[in-house]
Amino acid sequence: MIRAIIFDLDDTLISEKQYIKSGFRHIARVLNEKMLIDENKVFEHLIQLFEESPKHVFNRLLNKYGLTFAEEDILQLIKEYRNHLPTIDFYDDVLPCLELLKKQGLMLGIITDGYAEAQRQKIKAIKANDYVKEIVVTDELGREYWKPHPKSFEIIKNRLNVEYSEMLYVGDNPEKDFYISSLLPIRTIRIVREDSTYKNAQYFKAKRETYNVNSLLELKFVLEKED
């Protein structure tokens, strides 16, 4: 019997692309304040540069404007990006799903990779603690414990006082979200988001999800199968 459902964060509960746009808007404001560069133009350039390649976007931006900069300037922009409180929302299906699962008496949690300061700001922005019982940010354990390492699943299992077989994990990324079922008796669900960064990624060691859904509202059908 399933007692707990654990969710990934990026591209599962929130859109990573929406977060990136929020971060770029913040950086555009920072550069506008410091260097009097047009905020909207900077934002447009950042989006364009990112679409060309996600690597060294801030370096390429400053080069585009012919500005001299040091490595510490780039590090400061990265810090601004990661520490900003983003303007983001849950996907439309998230809150109705969470409310439904809570009514069924299920415990809810989040396991998320990514730089700790950025993930904590995302969690704060969407008030995730109001909706789930436990949250594990794997970066706070150490980079070596990012998924698919099982440590975060062990932690959340113990906090919720459930067995692995009583957990479902919902994620979007084939590169790391579903291999856990090769290590632990946890069933996994892949949510397919149209704007997912890893929509076409390859499965890690060819390990696929147990179930596949296009909306989190479909979890009720998965739970019926698990009963």
Q: pLDDT tens, 122-171?
A: 999 999 999 999 999 999 999 999 999 999 999 999 999 999 999 999 99
Check: CB of residue 108 under 8 Å from CB of residue 5. Answer: yes
Phi, psi for residue 173 in degrees, rounded to 5: -100, 110
State how far the Cα of 114 lies from the Cα of 50, in Å rounded to an integer.
18
pTM of the model: 0.95
Q: Residue 36 has what pLDDT?
A: 86
What confidence tens digit (pLDDT) does each residue in 169-220 have? Answer: 999 999 999 999 999 999 999 999 999 999 999 999 999 999 999 999 999 9
Q: Which residue has the tokens 């990112």?
A: 50
State how far the Cα of 110 lies from the Cα of 133, in Å rounded to an integer.
8
Q: What is the mean pLDDT of the chain?
A: 97
Q: Which tokens go with 200? A: 């076409």
Q: Which H/E stretch holds residue 170?
A: strand 167-171
What confidence tens digit (pLDDT) does each residue in 109-122 have? Answer: 999 999 999 999 99
Given the candidates 3.40.630.10, 3.90.1150.10, 3.40.120.10, 3.40.50.1000, the CATH classification of the domain at 4-14+89-226 is 3.40.50.1000
State how far the Cα of 180 lies from the Cα of 183, in Å rounded to an integer.
5
Would you list the domain boundaries of the chain? 4-14+89-226, 17-83
